């Protein structure tokens, strides 16, 4: 007894210590980016959590009468701030993507007459959706609250890694309902649902799955849901009928029949509620089975106390957010910083049950041996800064993510590392094979806990799949011919960069034959450079450059998410070579200057994907990733003060702590990772190198907690809004020369001091 009391006291003290610490979640505003193009969601989740439980204000069909419905685009994350109604709360969401999927298992509480259709935003009373007001809305990383006005229900959401927890406070009602809509989904269209299945196991437990054919072609998510009080009655409606009804027809399946299945079904669970009665729903997901979902639920939410679960989520966020402690010039900057940290730590997401089982790319069930399996790899975006950020302050997770990619490669019928993968599927979105840069970055920086040589083999295999996106031609000719593949130039340039990163890893591992092969390939950008005009340009299979060509257009010019003007600067593996090719520093610097100052005519802006007008500065398009390294190019032209100036300008113009504060899609955290690095004063210019380029820190102080137990402090003297120029840098008190910071330097711990000035 005494021992228990003592343990209890220690626990209490520890809890109070935790409370006494700074609560970093207070600085996060999940609503940032929920208006217009940010494509973020405001709901509840834990860091890298498998469940993203968030309100959907609408979803819209992906296509109408067989034609793409452009309006669907703004619903990539299910929530648009200006929408007047909430349809319900679904359990899976991407953060910041420019294409979408998911939105699984929508739950909505209602009272009164049962309605099994969502209704419309204009007439919410025609369905189960509800009006709401932002004044009742509370959003913190793992907690979301809103009043559903139509039926006077207070909704609160929180999560564990694999369990969404709903708490609904009802009015007194003899007809309280929980709608489970299995037809609901993001980027839905007729027949996107392949099959759905529900079993009412007993009066508090329901299980099932949803199988879809969308961005992920063969995707299935399993669930187990418990109610805190017994279901009084239940039923479902099937919105698609078949010629063959089967012998189930002998049952009245719509009422209290515990098996539901079909392509298009919505279920309801009915209760009687007293005034202010709270109904708790725990909703666990699994990539493998309902049995695993039940286990996830049992393990992660043994109790029914919403407040305790919420507190645990908050603690998880605090642990992650506090990995970088910053002092900022003002409150807005702090909100920006910790919201960026929050966005950066949303994905990739855990894709594995508590028993380590997960579904592999081959649709078989695998067991992760010694790592946590992750999914949602938006690698065209995230190899640039997000994975380097993880490599620095989430080293273990980054290794687990790479182990997940390597497992994907083993399971791939193409023996390819992920391009853009989610939920046991390769969706083939965007171009390149940027997994290799993530892997090389870990090998070169020496942070890898995976087998580096095996991983390098996987990279080499990936880089030699001849039928993939012009790759065979690229290997043969040194470029992707424009008459054979669209986006031929950007694809060529991305392959060349990826090849360089493979070369760097090979060098580190002493495999010089591989190094030589891929270093040679990394120079292939030269094959699409048209020296006569000073830009990269589409090249045909006969060797000539394409005639019709506009460097400002992004429409069918041989580039994706970027025009030739921007993309021509994408040679992070050889900036000096690129500057030389472009006529040397003298010619290059005014050329680069003009990028930020020129006016991009409206007709070209309109072609630019994924961003608002605010998302561009001159012709510099920060909202799309291919230019993310561009501001740092001045360092290589010996005018670092211009890098400093541009970086601070971009930080200021492109990131605002407002609902519409993001100029473009957050892209699974890549935009946020750019913010974090740049505001700290350095940036991973070329992942696969152990160098960072210095920029201009925008914080006053930052302490990075490294996983080796050391801390690396960035201490900024004379910081100010106008003091954007770095006049002096000291490392551990000693003068620091040049603009290149080594990863190994950071790992050694210590203090990097910047002295700022308003003049350069």
SS3 136: helix
Among 26, 117, 204, 211, binds its own copies (CB under 8 A): 211
If the CB atoms of residues 18 and 465 are measured against its own copies, the closer one turns out to be 465
Q: Does 641 bind its own copies (CB under 8 A)?
A: no
- Structure-block tokens of residue 724: 């954007």
Instruction: Please identify, among the stretches 283-291, 630-638, 675-683, 696-704, the one whose residues bind its own copies according to the rule CB under 8 A.
Output: 283-291
CB of 339 to its own copies, least distance (A): 30
If the CB atoms of residues 290 and 296 are measured against its own copies, the closer one turns out to be 290
Q: Does 218 bind its own copies (CB under 8 A)?
A: yes
Q: Does 424 bind its own copies (CB under 8 A)?
A: no
CB-based contact 185:59 (threshold 8 Å) = yes
Q: Does 244 bind its own copies (CB under 8 A)?
A: yes
Alpha-carbon distance 514 to 503, whole Å? 7
What Cα–Cα distance (Å) separates residue 611 from each residue in 68, 120, 379, 555, 606? 19, 28, 19, 15, 10
Q: Does 423 bind its own copies (CB under 8 A)?
A: no
If the CB atoms of residues 18 and 194 are measured against its own copies, the closer one turns out to be 194
Q: What is the DSSP letter of 689?
A: B
What Cα–Cα distance (Å) separates residue 177 from each residue in 112, 118, 575? 8, 14, 61
Q: Does 483 bind its own copies (CB under 8 A)?
A: no
Q: Does 475 bind its own copies (CB under 8 A)?
A: no
If the CB atoms of residues 224 and 676 are measured against its own copies, the closer one turns out to be 224
Q: Does 200 bind its own copies (CB under 8 A)?
A: yes
CB of 189 to its own copies, least distance (A): 5
How do strand 277-286 and strand 711-717 relate by DSSP bridges?
A: unpaired
729 phi/psi in degrees, rounded to 5: -130, 135
Map residues 337-366 to x or -, x wherever contact with its own copies holds by CB under 8 A.
Answer: -------------------------xxxx-
CB-based contact 300:276 (threshold 8 Å) = no
Q: How many residues of this chain bind its own copies (CB under 8 A)?
A: 53
CB of 486 to its own copies, least distance (A): 8
How do strand 85-86 and strand 711-717 relate by DSSP bridges?
A: unpaired
If the CB atoms of residues 193 and 394 are measured against its own copies, the closer one turns out to be 193
388 alpha carbon, distance to own chain's centre: 14
SS3 446: coil
If the CB atoms of residues 419 and 676 are measured against its own copies, the closer one turns out to be 419
SS3 110: strand
CB of 349 to its own copies, least distance (A): 20
- Structure-block tokens of residue 205: 């437990």
**Pick from 215, 212, 218, 625: nearest CA to 420:** 215
Instruction: Please identify, among the stretches 151-159, 190-198, 315-323, 603-611, the one whose residues bind its own copies according to the rule CB under 8 A.
Output: 190-198
Identify the bridge partners of residue 111 per DSSP, sorted by sequence position.
176
Taking phi over 0 as left and psi of -120 to 50 as alpha, with beta for the rest, 718 belongs to: left
Across 228-303, the runs of DSSP E, i.e. the strands, are 233-238, 259-262, 265-273, 277-286
If the CB atoms of residues 255 and 276 are measured against its own copies, the closer one turns out to be 255
Instruction: Please identify, among the stretches 58-66, 139-147, 338-346, 454-462, the one whose residues bind its own copies according to the rule CB under 8 A.
Output: 58-66
Spatial neighbors of 220 by CB under 8 A, at least 6 apart, are: 209, 210, 211, 212, 287, 359
Among 45, 207, 315, 447, binds its own copies (CB under 8 A): 207
363-392 residues near its own copies, rule: CB under 8 A:
363-365
Q: Does 467 bind its own copies (CB under 8 A)?
A: yes
Map residues 574-613 to x or -, x wherever contact with its own copies holds by CB under 8 A.
Answer: ----------------------------------------
Tokens 């009043």 sit on residue:
147
Q: Does 195 bind its own copies (CB under 8 A)?
A: yes
If the CB atoms of residues 363 and 594 are measured against its own copies, the closer one turns out to be 363
Among 27, 41, 48, 62, binds its own copies (CB under 8 A): 62
CB of 662 to its own copies, least distance (A): 24
Spatial neighbors of 129 by CB under 8 A, at least 6 apart, are: 85, 86, 87, 88, 108, 118, 119, 121, 150
CB of 370 to its own copies, least distance (A): 20
259-278 residues near its own copies, rule: CB under 8 A:
259, 261, 263
Instruction: Please identify, among the stretches 176-184, 256-264, 311-319, 493-501, the one whose residues bind its own copies according to the rule CB under 8 A.
Output: 256-264
396-415 residues near its own copies, rule: CB under 8 A:
413-414
Q: Does 215 bind its own copies (CB under 8 A)?
A: yes
Instruction: Please identify, among the stretches 13-21, 188-196, 298-306, 656-664, the one whose residues bind its own copies according to the rule CB under 8 A.
Output: 188-196
CB of 337 to its own copies, least distance (A): 34
Q: Does 174 bind its own copies (CB under 8 A)?
A: no
Q: What is the DSSP letter of 536?
A: E
If the CB atoms of residues 23 and 213 are measured against its own copies, the closer one turns out to be 213
535 phi/psi in degrees, rounded to 5: -135, 160
Q: Does 70 bind its own copies (CB under 8 A)?
A: no
Work out the widest C-alpha separation in the chain, in whole angstroms: 86
Q: Does 63 bind its own copies (CB under 8 A)?
A: yes
- In DSSP notation, 618-676 reads TTEETTSGGGTTGGGGGGGGT-HHHHHHHHHHHHHHHB-SSTT-BSB--GGGHHHHHHH
Across 416-538, the runs of DSSP E, i.e. the strands, are 420-422, 425-426, 529-530, 535-536
The packing angle between helices 670-680 and 331-344, to 10°, is: 130
**Pick from 111, 153, 151, 112: nearest CA to 276:** 153
Q: Does 530 bind its own copies (CB under 8 A)?
A: no
Among 3, 246, 275, 370, binds its own copies (CB under 8 A): 246
SS3 88: strand
If the CB atoms of residues 257 and 545 are measured against its own copies, the closer one turns out to be 257
Among 243, 302, 370, 709, binds its own copies (CB under 8 A): 243
Q: Does 428 bind its own copies (CB under 8 A)?
A: yes
**Pick from 621, 619, 601, 599: nearest CA to 609:** 621
Among 130, 160, 290, 404, binds its own copies (CB under 8 A): 290
SS3 758: coil
CB-based contact 236:265 (threshold 8 Å) = yes
Q: What is the 3-state secondary structure (H, E, C) of 183-212?
A: CCCCCECCCCEEEEEEEEEECCEEEEEEEE
Alpha-carbon distance 342 to 499, whole Å? 32
CB of 557 to its own copies, least distance (A): 18
Q: Does 190 bind its own copies (CB under 8 A)?
A: yes
Give the DSSP H or E segment for 489: helix 488-508
Instruction: Please identify, among the stretches 169-177, 208-216, 494-502, 676-684, the one whose residues bind its own copies according to the rule CB under 8 A.
Output: 208-216
Instruction: Enumerate binding residues for its own copies (CB under 8 A).
Output: 62-63, 66-68, 187, 189-192, 194-195, 197, 199-201, 207, 209, 211, 213-215, 217-218, 242-244, 246-248, 250-251, 256-259, 261, 263, 289-291, 362-365, 413-414, 420, 427-429, 467, 469
């Amino acid at each position: 007894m005494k021992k228990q009391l003592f343990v209890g006291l220690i626990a209490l003290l520890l809890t109070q210590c935790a409370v006494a610490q700074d609560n970093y979640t207070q600085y996060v505003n999940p609503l940032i980016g929920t208006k217009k193009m940010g494509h973020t969601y405001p709901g509840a989740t834990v860091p890298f959590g498998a469940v993203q439980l968030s309100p959907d204000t609408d979803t819209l069909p992906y296509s109408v009468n067989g034609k793409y419905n452009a309006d669907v685009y703004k619903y990539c994350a299910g929530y648009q701030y200006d929408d007047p109604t909430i349809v319900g709360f679904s359990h899976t969401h991407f953060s910041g993507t420019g294409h979408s999927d998911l939105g699984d298992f929508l739950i909505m509480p209602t009272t009164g007459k049962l309605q099994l259709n969502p209704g419309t935003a204009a007439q919410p009373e025609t369905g189960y959706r509800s009006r709401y007001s932002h004044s009742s809305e509370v959003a913190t990383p793992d907690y979301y609250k809103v009043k559903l006005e139509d039926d006077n229900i207070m909704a609160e959401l929180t999560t564990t890694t694999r369990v969404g927890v709903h708490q609904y406070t009802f009015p007194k009602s003899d007809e309280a309902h929980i709608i489970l809509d299995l037809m609901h989904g993001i980027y839905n269209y007729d027949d996107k649902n392949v099959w759905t299945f529900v079993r009412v196991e007993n009066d508090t437990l329901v299980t099932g799955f949803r199988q879809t054919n969308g961005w992920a072609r063969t995707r299935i998510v399993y669930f187990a849901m418990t109610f805190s009080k017994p279901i009084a009655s239940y039923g479902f409606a099937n919105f698609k009928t078949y010629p063959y009804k089967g012998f189930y027809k002998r049952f009245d399946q719509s009422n209290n029949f515990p098996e539901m299945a079909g392509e298009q079904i919505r279920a309801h669970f009915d209760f009687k509620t007293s005034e202010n009665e709270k109904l708790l729903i725990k909703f666990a997901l699994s990539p493998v089975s309902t049995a695993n979902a039940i286990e996830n639920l049992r393990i992660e939410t043994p109790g029914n106390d919403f407040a305790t679960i919420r507190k645990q989520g908050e603690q998880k966020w605090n642990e992650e957010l506090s990995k970088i402690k910053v002092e900022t010039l003002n409150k807005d900057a702090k909100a920006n910083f910790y919201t960026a940290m929050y966005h950066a730590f949303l994905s990739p997401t855990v894709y594995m049950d508590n028993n380590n089982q997960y579904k592999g790319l081959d649709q078989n069930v695998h067991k992760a041996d010694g790592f946590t399996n992750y999914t949602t790899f938006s690698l065209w975006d995230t190899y640039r800064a997000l994975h380097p950020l993880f490599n620095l302050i989430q080293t273990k997770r980054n290794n687990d993510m790479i182990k997940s990619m390597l497992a994907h490669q083993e399971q791939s019928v193409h023996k390819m590392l992920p391009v853009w993968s989610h939920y046991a599927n390769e969706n083939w979105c965007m171009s390149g094979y940027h997994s290799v840069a993530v892997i090389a970055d870990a090998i070169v920086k020496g942070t890898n806990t995976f087998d580096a040589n095996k991983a390098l083999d996987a990279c080499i295999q990936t880089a030699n799949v001849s039928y993939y996106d012009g790759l065979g031609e690229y290997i043969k000719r040194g470029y992707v011919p424009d008459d054979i593949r669209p986006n031929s130039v950007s694809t060529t340039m991305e392959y060349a960069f990826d090849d360089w990163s493979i070369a760097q890893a090979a060098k580190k591992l002493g495999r010089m034959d591989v190094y030589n092969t891929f270093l040679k390939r990394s120079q292939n950008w030269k094959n699409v450079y048209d020296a006569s005009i000073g830009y990269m340009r589409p090249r045909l299979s006969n060797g000539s450059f394409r005639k019709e060509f506009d460097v400002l257009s992004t429409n069918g010019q041989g580039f994706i998410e970027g025009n030739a003007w921007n993309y021509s600067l994408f040679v992070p593996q050889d900036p000096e070579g690129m500057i030389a090719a472009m006529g040397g520093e003298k010619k290059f610097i005014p050329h680069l200057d003009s990028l930020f100052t020129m006016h991009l005519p409206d007709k070209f802006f309109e072609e630019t994907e994924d961003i608002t007008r605010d998302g561009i500065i001159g012709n510099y398009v920060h909202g799309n990733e291919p230019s993310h390294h561009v501001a740092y190019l001045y360092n290589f032209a010996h005018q670092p003060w211009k890098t400093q100036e541009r970086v601070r300008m971009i930080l200021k113009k492109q990131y605002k702590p407002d609902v519409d504060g993001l100029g473009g899609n957050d892209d699974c955290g890549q935009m946020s990772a750019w913010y974090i690095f740049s505001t700290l004063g350095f940036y991973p210019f070329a992942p696969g190198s152990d160098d960072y380029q210095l920029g201009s820190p925008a914080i006053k102080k930052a302490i990075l907690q490294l996983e080796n137990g050391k801390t690396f402090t960035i201490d900024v003297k004379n910081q100010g809004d106008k003091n954007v120029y770095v006049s002096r840098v000291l490392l551990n008190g000693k003068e620091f020369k040049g603009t290149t910071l080594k990863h190994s330097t950071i790992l050694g711990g210590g203090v990097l001091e910047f002295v700022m000035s308003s003049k350069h």
